[in-house]
Amino acid sequence: MSMTDTRLCEMTIHELRDLLKAKQVSAVEIARSFIDRIEAVESRIKAFVTVTPELALEQAAIVDESIERGDDIGPLAGIPVAIKDNMCTRGTLTTCSSKILYNFKPIYDATVVDKLVRAGAVTIGKTNLDEFAMGSSTENSGFFVTHNPWNLDTVPGGSSGGSAAAVAADECAFALGSDTGGSIRQPASFCGVVGMKPTYGRVSRYGLVAFASSLDQIGPLTKDVTDCAIVMNAICGKDPLDSTSLDVPVPDFMKALVSDVRNLKIGVPKEFFGHGTDPEVESAVRAAIDLLVSLGAEAKEISMPSVDYGLPVYYIIAPAECSSNLARYDGVRYGHRTGTSTSPIFAKGGVSSNLPLTKGGVGGVVSLYQKTREEGFGPEVKQRIMIGTYALSAGYYDAYYLKAQKVRTLLRRDFEKAFEEFDVLITPTSPTVAFAIGERVDDPFAMKLADICTIPANLAGIPGISIPCGFKDGLPIGLQIMAKGLNEETLIRVAYTYEQHSGHHKEKPGI
Query: Are 106 and 129 spatial neighbours (Cβ–Cβ below 8 Å)?
Result: no
Shortest Å distance, C-beta 202 to ligand GLN:
16
Shortest Å distance, C-beta 430 to ligand GLN:
10
Four-CA torsion 223, 474, 183, 303, nearest 10 degrees: -110
Residues binding ligand GLN: number (CB under 6 A): 13
Measured from the CB atom, the residue of 171 and 179 that comes closer to ligand GLN is 179
Pick the catalytic residue: 136, 141, 163, 183? 183
Task: Report the distance separating Cα 178 and Cα 180, nearest Å.
Answer: 7
Measured from the CB atom, the residue of 182 and 378 that comes closer to ligand GLN is 182
Classify strands 464-472 and 475-483 as parallel, antiparallel or unpaired.
antiparallel
Shortest Å distance, C-beta 421 to ligand GLN:
28
Measured from the CB atom, the residue of 211 and 498 that comes closer to ligand GLN is 211
Q: Helices 225-235 & 13-21, crossing angle to 10 degrees?
A: 80
Contact characters 125-154, ligand GLN, x per CB under 6 A:
--------xxxx------------------
The identity of residue 130, as a single letter, is D
Q: Residue 174: which H helix or E strand, with range? A: strand 174-178
Shortest Å distance, C-beta 316 to ligand GLN:
12
Measured from the CB atom, the residue of 204 and 233 that comes closer to ligand GLN is 204
Shortest Å distance, C-beta 215 to ligand GLN:
7
The identity of residue 89, as a single letter, is T
Residues 158-187 that bind ligand GLN (CB under 6 A): 159, 179-183
Shortest Å distance, C-beta 301 to ligand GLN:
27
Distances (CA, A) of 168 to 124, 180, 310: 15, 21, 29
Q: Residue 49: which H helix or E strand, with range? A: strand 48-51
230 touching ligand GLN, by CB under 6 A = no
The CB density around residue 503, as the number of other CB atoms within 10 Å, is: 10
The DSSP code sequence of 335-383 is S--TTT---GGGTTT-PPSP--TT--SHHHHHHHHHHHHHHHS-HHHHH
Residues 406-465 that bind ligand GLN (CB under 6 A): 451
Half-sphere exposure in the Cβ direction for 504 (13 Å, CA): 28
Query: Are 177 and 211 spatial neighbours (Cβ–Cβ below 8 Å)?
Result: no
Task: Report the distance separating Cα 336 and Cα 377, nearest Å.
Answer: 10
Measured from the CB atom, the residue of 38 and 133 that comes closer to ligand GLN is 133
Q: Is 98 a catalytic residue?
A: no
Measured from the CB atom, the residue of 135 and 456 that comes closer to ligand GLN is 135
Shortest Å distance, C-beta 126 to ligand GLN:
16
The pair phi, psi for residue 497, each rounded to 5°, is: -60, -45
Shortest Å distance, C-beta 35 to ligand GLN:
29
Shortest Å distance, C-beta 137 to ligand GLN:
8
Q: Which of 318, 404, 449, 495 binds ligand GLN (CB under 6 A)?
A: 318
For 244-251, which contacts have Cβ atoms below 8 Å and span 24 or more sequence positions?
244/200, 244/201, 244/205, 244/213, 245/201, 245/202, 245/203, 245/204, 245/205, 245/206, 246/199, 246/201, 246/202, 246/486, 248/486, 251/489
Measured from the CB atom, the residue of 438 and 444 that comes closer to ligand GLN is 444
Task: Report the distance separating Cα 474 and Cα 181, nearest Å.
Answer: 26
DSSP-derived 3-state class of residue 104: coil
Shortest Å distance, C-beta 43 to ligand GLN:
26
Contact characters 34-73, ligand GLN, x per CB under 6 A:
----------------------------------------
- Residue among 14, 160, 153, 176 at smallest CA distance from 82: 176
Classify strands 424-428 and 265-269 as parallel, antiparallel or unpaired.
parallel
Pick the catalytic residue: 159, 163, 323, 430? 159
Task: Report the distance separating Cα 293 and Cα 494, nearest Å.
Answer: 11
Query: Are 492 and 226 spatial neighbours (Cβ–Cβ below 8 Å)?
Result: no
Query: Are 461 and 408 spatial neighbours (Cβ–Cβ below 8 Å)?
Result: no
Task: Report the distance separating Cα 244 and Cα 177, nearest Å.
Answer: 18
Pick the catalytic residue: 46, 84, 126, 484? 84
Measured from the CB atom, the residue of 182 and 461 that comes closer to ligand GLN is 182
Site of interaction with ligand GLN (CB under 6 A) = 133-136, 159, 179-183, 211, 318, 451
* Residues annotated catalytic, as ranges: 84, 159, 183
